[in-house]
Structure 1
Amino acid sequence: MNKNRMLVISDIHGCFHEFKELLSLVKYDSSEDQLILLGDYMDRGKNSKEVIYFVKDLVENHGAVAIKGNHDQMFCNWLTDPIGEKERYFRNGALETIQSFLDENCNHPAEKDSTYREWAQKIEESHKEIVSFIENLPYFYETDDFIFVHAGINPEHDDWKKTSNHEFIWIRDPFLQVNHSFSRTIIHGHTPAIYLHEKADVYYGNKKIGIDGACAYGHQLNCLEIKDGMFEQYFVKANVASC
């Protein structure tokens, strides 16, 4: 990777305007910067479709790296099984995503199971390429010094790559509450930093850096800049009206 900076952002959750504003704030230049996105592009915020299409463009045309988060997986699971997965997904911000993709107001709970099936079918038929893009997102990205992952790794394994795909996108306490033995620093989202040190700013732990600023909950969207071995944080505050 011959780029001057790495810029790392996680848990955008449909907050499209904040995402664009943050890239502008850090003066993102794809020819100079390696952008790394740590998952959870959708749900809760109002503009999930715009976010994920923008992410796809950044990956395919600007060399960005995007990995998968648990919300991205839940979206795919629900499309596959719109009835069996509806309870879990709709507890986690599905309605905003479905409204974004269908460009219409959808009422929940729907009166009939057939409605959920119709919603899923419409999305799959109208957005085949983006669904395939989400399904095929990798679960981690690594460099010589860092491991980038959505939620964390299982520190009980001698080889962190033995972490299951489920753990890569869902793990919390078994990763957060112990000091892992690996030499590289693990940069993750998933768990809002406000739960790690009572503020939304980037959390710097022991060979762990948590960057989820909980934008979709009204806090902020963080960007971690890595340059010449040094870290710097940038952020934009959540615009509750647009996110």
Structure 2
Amino acid sequence: MQNTFVIGDIHGGLKALLQVLNKIKVTEEDTLIFVGDYVDGWSESAQVIEFLIDLSEKINCIFIKGNHDVWCENWLKKDQVNPTWYMHGGKETIDSYEGFSAEEKKQHFAFFEKMPLYYLDDKNRLFLHAGFTSMHGVEKEIFKENFYFDRTLWEMALAANQKIDSNSTFYPKRVQHYKEIFIGHTPTLNFNVETPMNALNIWNVDTGAAFTGKICAMNVATKQYVQSDKLPSLYPNEKGRNK
């Protein structure tokens, strides 16, 4: 049986990523859709990218680009350190590249460069890192940065969720274009929730791996999910982004 799984933010936590892949017992028939932020946080960012490149040669994978991936891509391209990035996990990512050759870094840059900003499957399910603002959908989005920085999509969904149903004329137009939307970027820990969250037709699968939470993998059809151990327990001598 073919399954499609969406995987939340990783943030350099290779040990946790391996846990969730083992738990879902991923096979060569499956599709894995990653919603971005592979780097910045724990100590194995470069190793995560190396692993994902190898994984994509064996399994059908779709890698959405997140904001931290944009920062890392720019560093690999120009060898210039963005101060904001450095303070939000960039230092750990730079350290993780110690020992990687120029050719390996070039391969990683190419991996980041070809990542799409969103993916729409044949069942009209949208996958992206953060959000979008156009009421006409992602194809009409003017500011592409919204795909990896916007939080208003999720904030709007949370605000409307308790007051509205999908048949209402007030149901937000920008989400009506899609059967379902899967995002990361905004940790569910921000709402004191350790598991994936649903609001309107949006699923948030960032369960806080960058901080004290876990990596999540969800079956997009059944909504069954697995999670890793909490990242601080897997990297006990590190702080991640808990600074």
What TM-score results when the alignment is normalised by the length of structure 2? Answer: 0.82
SS of equivalent to 2:227? strand
Q: Could you say which residue in structure 1 is the equivalent of 2:163?
A: none
Preserved CA contact (<8 Å) 1:78 1:89: no
Equivalents in 2 of 1:44, 1:29: separation in Å?
28
Partner in structure 1 of residue 168 of structure 2? none
Letter in 2 for 1:168: F
CA drift at 1:225: 1.1
Aligned to 1:46, what secondary structure does the other structure show?
coil
Aligned-partner residue type, residue 150 of structure 1: H
Deviates more, 1:143-152 or 1:85-94: 85-94
Aligned-partner SS, 1:36: strand
Deviations 1:190-243, CA, capped at 9 Å, x for gaps:
001122x4212000110110000111202111111123xx21121112242544
2:144 maps to 1:165: yes
**2:107 paired residue among 123, 126, 129:** 129
Aligned AA (1:97): T
- TM-aligned CA distance change 1:216 to 1:174, over 3 Å: closer
Give TM-score scaled by structure 1 length. Answer: 0.82
Amino acid at match of 2:131: G
Q: Conserved in 2, the CA contact under 8 Å of 1:153 and 1:175?
A: no
1:115 corresponds in structure 2 to none
SS in 2 for 1:127: helix
Q: What SS class does the counterpart of residue 136 from structure 2 fall into?
A: coil
Which of 180, 183, 199 pairs up with 2:178?
183
Determine helix, strand or coil for the equivalent of 1:224: strand
Gaps of 5+ in 2: 158-171, 236-243
In structure 1, the partner of 2:161 is none
Instruction: State the one-letter code of the partner of 1:45.
Output: W
Q: In the alignment, is the contact (CA less than 8 A) between 1:46 and 1:242 conserved in 2?
A: no
Root mean square deviation, CA, Å: 2.0
AA matched with 1:58: L
Look up the match of 1:37: 34
Match in the other structure for 2:92: 96
Q: Give percent identity, aligned residues only.
A: 26
Pick one of 197, 202, 209 that aligns with 1:208: 202
Q: How many residues align structurally? A: 217
Matches of 2:43 and 2:233 in 1, distance apart?
Answer: 9
Give the distance between the partners of 1:99 and 1:123, measured in 2 at CA: 13
**Structure 1 portions without partners, runs of 5+:** 104-121
